Amino acid sequence: MPNKRKYLFVVVGILVLAWVVYLFYREGSREPIELGKVAPDFELASLSNQTYRLSSLRGKVLLLNFWATWCGPCKEEMPALERLYQSLKGEGGFELLAVSVDRTGREDVEPFVQEQKITFPVLLDSLTRVSELYQVYKLPETFLIDGEGKIVEHYQGPREWDSPLYEQMIRQLIIRANPSRFGSLELIPKVYAAEIKESNILEEPTDNEGHARAWWQERVSSLNTKIAEVEAKTRETEAKIHSLPADARILEVRSEQQKLQELLQKKKDLQKQLVDLEEEARRAGAPPGWLRFK
């Protein structure tokens, strides 16, 4: 009996060791998921029974989200993902795929999607093959993939996807992935669209690049005008401070000095916006010297 027990322990030990070695080599054989690398290709079916292959979406900017119905933070960000999708889907050049890792598959996923009125494609990865391929371990996880199929950003945890930060970032990638459409009105951030359409800066030239240049330079001109106004008010305030009589009340002097500090800070903020604007245009693919800052 003791020999049989000893033999059993040896067998169990060998099996455990073999499993550990298998896991080690399986994980070690995978390429690490890194920014700047091409996203691993895969093929999955959606709730609508349509098959999606990642490589077939090349040329589009893709937001690839891994989630589950049992994941609270995943459900928390779903409305923001839907709003982002509604905002960008009509412009072309963008796709959002939500990969469910629910083991039960359609049984739990479909009721949730219907209840939340989700309209973007939801893919089923009940065997978690794709989530393992992407080395997902903390839901929700999201990958932002550019038009060349390369991973630009990797996010862990929920996000306010409909915030201007993410929407603008994706729009810039869309512009870069579609240079022939660069600067079209459809790709100008909506916060400026109404203002641009009402102005006359789009009358000439009529090509897309001309539209884009006019739009960016209008923003530069607007910022430079605001800086000039602040500089004029700063000079006025400085002159007023110097003209105050020696016996002026302390509170009056302090008040003017406070105004001066606020004006100087405002000028600094506006100048930073100019620098940020130049960087934004560069990331969007604008040629050097496009904006011609003053």
- Confidence label for 2 from pLDDT (cuts 50, 70 and 90): low
Kindly state the tokens that stand for 73: 């933070």
**By three-state DSSP, how is residue 241 classified?**
helix
pLDDT of residue 280: 67
How many CA atoms lie less than 13 Å away from 109 in the CB half-sphere? 22
Contact between residue 278 and residue 216 where contact means Cβ atoms under 8 Å apart = no
pLDDT of residue 202: 36
- Confidence label for 155 from pLDDT (cuts 50, 70 and 90): very high
Contact between residue 69 and residue 107 where contact means Cβ atoms under 8 Å apart = no
Kindly state the tokens that stand for 137: 């371990």
What does pLDDT average to over the chain? 78
Kindly state the tokens that stand for 198: 């009402």
pLDDT, mean of residues 32-54: 94
List, for residues 157-169, the tens digit of each pLDDT value.
Answer: 999 998 877 887 8
pLDDT of residue 224: 79
pLDDT of residue 241: 77
pLDDT of residue 214: 61
Contact between residue 196 and residue 215 where contact means Cβ atoms under 8 Å apart = yes
Whether residue 99 is predicted with pLDDT greater than 80 in this model: the reply is: yes
Where is 53: in which H helix or E strand?
Answer: strand 51-53
List, for residues 105-145, the tens digit of each pLDDT value.
Answer: 999 999 999 999 999 999 999 999 999 999 998 999 999 99
Burial of 14 from C-beta contacts in 10 A (0-12 / 13-18 / 19+): exposed
pLDDT of residue 178: 72
Kindly state the tokens that stand for 274: 């100019």
| Radius of gyration for the chain, computed over Cα atoms and rounded to the nearest angstrom | 28
Give the percent of the chain with pLDDT over 90.
39
pLDDT of residue 154: 93
In angstroms, what CA-CA distances link 165 with 257, 280, 284?
A: 35, 12, 14
pLDDT of residue 184: 45
List, for residues 182-226, the tens digit of each pLDDT value.
Answer: 444 444 444 344 444 444 433 333 344 555 566 666 667 777 788
In angstroms, what CA-CA distances link 52 with 46, 48, 83?
A: 7, 11, 22
pLDDT of residue 9: 59
Kindly state the tokens that stand for 177: 């992935």
pLDDT of residue 18: 55
- Confidence label for 7 from pLDDT (cuts 50, 70 and 90): low
Q: What is the DSSP string of 68-129?
A: -TT-HHHHHHHHHHHHHHHHHGGGSSEEEEEEE--TTTHHHHHHHHHHHT--S-EEE-TT-H
List, for residues 12-22, the tens digit of each pLDDT value.
Answer: 566 556 554 44
Q: Which residue has the tokens 């459409």?
A: 181
What residue ranges define each of the domains in the chain, with the CATH number in brackets? 43-177 (3.40.30.10), 185-283 (1.20.58)
Q: What are the counts of helices (DSSP H) followed by strands (DSSP E) for the chain?
A: 8, 7
pTM: 0.57
